[in-house]
Amino acid sequence: MSEPILNFNPQGAGSIVLGNPLTSGFTQLFLTITQDKNGKAQIQAVQASGSLFGTLELNPSGGSVVLPANLIINGLTLPPAGVGTVDLVIDPKTNQIYRQG
């Protein structure tokens, strides 16, 4: 089993890597902040290092994933005005997000 790699910088960007990023083909999970101020927080799944990004599963055994009200994805605000909840589907071929139904 590979040791996790921690890139910690309290003054700026940093990341936690679970898995082995030093050898091709390993599954990994990256948790990253891009900069100390006005940056982004990122989660990236890798199926096989060096070749494939992976699928990020949230609560694969059940439970709920709660998204904030007025979530904005590529300029689309969800849920639309007057709609309480929205079911979304991501097309795996195009990575486009669609309203279900």
Are 73 and 51 within one domain? no
Same-domain status, 84 and 45:
no
Same-domain check for residues 99 and 82: yes
51 & 77 share domain = no
For the chain, the straight-line distance linking the first and the last C-alpha, in angstroms and rounded, comes to 44
Q: How confident is the model at residue 80 (pLDDT cuts 50, 70, 90)?
A: low
Note whether 73 and 50 are same-domain residues: no
> Tell me, what's the pLDDT at 60?
78
**48 - beta bridge partners?**
52
81: helix, coil or strand?
Answer: coil
Say yes or no to pLDDT of 69 above 70.
Answer: no
Q: Which of residues 64 and 79 earns the better pLDDT score?
A: 64
Is the confidence at residue 16, as pLDDT, over 80?
yes
Calculate mean pLDDT across residues 64-85.
63
- Do residue 20 and residue 50 come from a single domain? yes
Instruction: State which residues form the domain around 85.
Output: 67-101
Cα distance between residue 45 and residue 25, in whole Å:
13
The verdict on 74 and 54 lying in the same domain is no
Same-domain pairing of 21 and 50: yes
Same-domain check for residues 5 and 42: yes
Q: Name the strand (E) or helix (H) holding 74.
A: none
Instruction: Please give the sequence-ordered ranges of beta strands (E in DSSP) within 1-101, or none if there are none.
Output: 5-7, 14-19, 28-33, 41-48, 52-53, 71-73, 76-78, 88-90, 97-99
Q: What percent of the chain has pLDDT over 70?
A: 55
Total count of domains within the chain: 2
Name the pTM for this structure.
Answer: 0.57
